[in-house]
């Protein structure tokens, strides 16, 4: 019996068919995960500014900012200008957004500590003055530091 060696063209065709099958199976084995962003959706997000603060949603840490003109702490109007923050961690958030974020903690102690940290940062980078800080503290029921630890807890 003679062993017949397949021609180069036959080998190439068989390899091609196997490759085509492998590609077809691979393409259909991994369905798109639910909630994946379609290309068109990505483009829409990139150029959408839901809260109209001038920062596109894709780059906005707070795409639905509270843009009322003054800083509101719960129902208290501090009278402090509710500025839009532009540093990378808070880009597109307002001061009111940040205070609302502070409120998402377990207890009042954590809330006040978060507000103190926030106003410290804002005062340090020149966004608010010490007077502004006092007005925000006043809305939280908190007094300046020396009395803060004694009166609040």
Closest approach, Cβ 137 to Ca ion, in A, equals: 25
Burial class of residue 19 (count of CB atoms within 10 Å of its CB; 0-12, 13-18, 19+): exposed
Q: How far is the CB of 92 from Ca ion (least distance, A)?
A: 4
| Cα 137 to Cα 79: distance, rounded to the nearest angstrom | 12
Q: Which of 10, 15, 51, 149 binds Ca ion (CB under 5 A)?
A: 51
Binding span for Ca ion by CB under 5 A among 22-30, 64-72, 118-126, 127-135: 64-72
Query: In the chain, what are the helix, strand and coil shares in percent, each to the nearest 5?
Result: 50, 10, 40
Quick check: 85 binds Ca ion (CB under 5 A)? no
Least gap, CB of 106 to Ca ion (angstroms): 26
d(CA 138, CA 58): 35
- Asked if 133 touches Ca ion (CB under 5 A), the answer is no
Nearer Cβ to Ca ion (47/153): 47
Contacting residue, 71, 85, 90, 92, with Ca ion by CB under 5 A: 92
Compare residues 54 and 141 and give the one whose CB is closer to Ca ion.
Answer: 54
Per CB under 5 A, does 65 bind Ca ion?
yes
- Cα 87–Cα 91–Cα 93 angle in degrees, nearest 5: 120
Among 20, 25, 28, 53, binds Ca ion (CB under 5 A): 53
- The answer to the question of residue 102 lying near Ca ion (CB under 5 A) is no
The C-alpha atoms of residue 122 and residue 90 are separated, in whole angstroms, by 11
Which H or E run includes 46? helix 39-46
Structure tokens at 133: 């800080």
Residues making contact with Ca ion (CB under 5 A): 51, 53, 60, 62, 65, 92
């Amino acid at each position: 019996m003679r062993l017949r060696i397949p021609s180069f063209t036959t080998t190439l065709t068989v390899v091609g068919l196997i490759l085509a099958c492998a590609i077809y199976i691979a393409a259909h084995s991994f369905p798109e995960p639910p909630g994946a962003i379609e290309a068109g959706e990505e483009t829409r997000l990139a150029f959408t500014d839901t809260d109209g603060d001038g920062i596109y949603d894709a780059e906005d840490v707070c795409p639905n900012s509270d843009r009322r003109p003054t800083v509101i702490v719960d129902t208290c109007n501090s009278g402090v200008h509710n500025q839009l923050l532009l540093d990378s961690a808070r880009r597109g958030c307002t001061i009111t957004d940040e205070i609302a974020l502070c409120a998402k903690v377990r207890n009042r102690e954590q809330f006040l500590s978060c507000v103190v940290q926030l106003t410290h940062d804002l005062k340090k980078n020149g966004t608010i003055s010490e007077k502004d800080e006092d007005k925000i503290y006043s809305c939280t029921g908190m007094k300046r530091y020396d009395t803060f630890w004694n009166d609040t807890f």
